[in-house]
Structure 1
Amino acid sequence: MAKIIGAILGFFVGGPLLALLGFVVGTFFDRGLGQAMRFNYGAERERIQNIFFDTVFRVMGHIAKADGRVCESEIAQTEAIIAQLDLTGARRQDAINRFKQGSDSGFQLEPQISDFMTVAKSQPLLRQMLLEALLTMALADGEMADAERDIVSRVAGYLGVSAHEFKRLVDMVMAQRQFHGGGSYSQSETSGSELKKAYQAIGVEASASDAEIKRAYRKLMSQHHPDKLVAKGVPEDMMKIATEKAQEIQVAYDLIKKNRGSK
């Protein structure tokens, strides 16, 4: 179709010579369009989702082994995370198998992240979600050991995240955890440490303007929107992490608005 249109336009613009040129250009366009229409986007998204899933649980196993051995509490923590994500049946067993692979003494972090980067190199949101998932899991027991932080920091470096940006992300995730489950804060708390955590959870300074805070909040909520994440390749059964993260951000933002509105 494009080659016919190109030939007609070429003829009216410049006669037979440009008509021939339009026909040739249109032919290449038709071929490209045909290839694009034959491309299986569903299969490609599934491939990205599988790599994301594999990377999360293998690196999680590697983190659990960071201190030299996987202890019972870390296994229980992993089981709790799997339950939190509502993984059942074959999917649950897949997660356990990936975790065991990552905790094996022969596991190498670099090839796994290299595999992940084949699908995430041009997807900054996908890279950020991987780091958030790893940090959320590493902090599941309320703290992150130095050895765990070192591994996640190395992952961040491999993903092209600077040390400064990684520290900022860690501070945000740790602050957001304070608002897990909705929280309940009295007026006196909103003027102290909890308010400080709320600003950290949004990623802004307390001196930021209302407009700056709203922009930061909207950006975070957009980044954690389920439809956008699924389209980028985050597995649907891991969407609960993003949903809970969005809820924590919402609570923090509401706390800031309440405090500023009371001034």
Structure 2
Amino acid sequence: MGKLIGAVLGFLVGGPLFALLGLAAGHFFDRGLGQAMGFDYAGARAELQTQFFETCFRVMGHIAKADGRVCEDEVAQAEAIIAKLGLQNERRQQAINLFKEGSAADFTLEPEMSRFLQRCGRQVLMRQMLLEALLSISLADGKLDPAETDILGKVAHYLGVPERDFQRLLQMATAQQHFHGQGSGGQRAPCRNALQEAYQALGVSESISAPELKKAYRKLMSQHHPDKLIAKGVPEDMIKIATEKAQEIQAAYDLIQKHRKAK
């Protein structure tokens, strides 16, 4: 088709000679299009998903050993996260093996993050989701000790997240955990502390205008949309973390809206 169109346009513009030039140009267009259509998008996405999964669970194991050893509570927490994600059979065993690799004495963070960036570094959303997933997993027990925070800070640094932005994401993730399990229209009373946490969960100030608040909320919800994340390469069995995050954001936003309407 490219050769045909090129030849016709060339002939109309300048006769037989230009028709030959158009034919040649059309040939190169057809070849480039064929290469593009032959690109294995599904295979490329599978590679991204594999790397995301491997890095997430290895670093998770590394964080669990942040204090020098992996205790029974941390193993139980890892098992609970694996169960929550619905991992079964080979996928479950793979996650356990990766967790053990990350908690091994010879594991180093830098090469793992380098591998992740080589495959997934161009995907801004994947970099953000990796950090968010690790924050969410680390905060699952309701606390974050200094050693864990230090490792997460290093991860953020390797991902190109400035310290100021990392602290903001950490504050947001901590506040969002307080809305875990509430879903839309959570039952929290609109007390001062709850409202402060709601604004922190959205990463905005209490003085924000209604239009800007809605804009910030919609941006966060868009970033955590399952279809968008899967298309970018986030593994489907890791999407539950993003789904829960979206529910926490929704609950925080609903609480703010309820309070503002009451005023």
Q: Normalising by the residue count of structure 2, what TM-score does the alignment of the two structures yield?
A: 0.96
State the Cα deviation string for residues 193-228 of structure 1 (Å, max 9, x = none).
Answer: 110110111111111100000000000101100000
Identity of aligned residues (%): 63
* Number of residue pairs aligned between Structure 1 and Structure 2: 260
1:180 maps to 2:183: no
Most deviating of 111-120 and 84-93: 111-120
Write the distance in 2 (CA, Å) between the matches of 1:42 and 1:135: 28
Task: For 1:18-37, list aligned pairs within 5 A.
Answer: 18-37=18-37
Question: 1:234 corresponds to which letter in structure 2?
Answer: V
Structure 1: state its 5+ residue gaps.
Answer: none
User: Which residue in the other structure is 1:201 paired with?
Assistant: 201
Write the distance in 1 (CA, Å) between the matches of 2:203 and 2:16: 62
Instruction: Indicate the SS of the match to 1:248.
Output: helix
State the Cα deviation string for residues 63-115 of structure 1 (Å, max 9, x = none).
Answer: 11111111111111111111111111111000000000111111121111111
1:47 maps to 2:47: yes
Question: 2:187 corresponds to which letter in structure 1?
Answer: S
User: Which residue in the other structure is 1:244 paired with?
Assistant: 244
1:73 maps to 2:73: yes
Question: 1:197 corresponds to which letter in structure 2?
Answer: E
CA RMSD of aligned residues (A): 1.0
Most deviating of 240-249 and 5-14: 5-14
Q: 1:21, CA displacement in angstroms? A: 2.4
Task: For 1:160-239, list aligned pairs within 5 A.
Answer: 160-182=160-182, 183-187=186-190, 189=191, 192-239=192-239
Q: 1:262, CA displacement in angstroms? A: 1.2
Question: 1:232 corresponds to which letter in structure 2?
Answer: K
Q: Normalising by the residue count of structure 1, what TM-score does the alignment of the two structures yield?
A: 0.96
Most deviating of 32-41 and 238-247: 32-41
Write the distance in 1 (CA, Å) between the matches of 2:22 and 2:207: 59
Write the distance in 2 (CA, Å) between the matches of 1:205 and 1:20: 64
Structure 2: state its 5+ residue gaps.
Answer: none
Question: 1:185 corresponds to which letter in structure 2?
Answer: R
Write the distance in 2 (CA, Å) between the matches of 1:256 and 1:82: 33
Write the distance in 1 (CA, Å) between the matches of 2:27 and 2:108: 47
Instruction: Indicate the SS of the match to 1:140.
Output: coil
User: Which residue in the other structure is 2:132 paired with?
Assistant: 132
Q: 1:119, CA displacement in angstroms? A: 2.5
State the Cα deviation string for residues 39-59 of structure 1 (Å, max 9, x = none).
Answer: 111111111101000000000
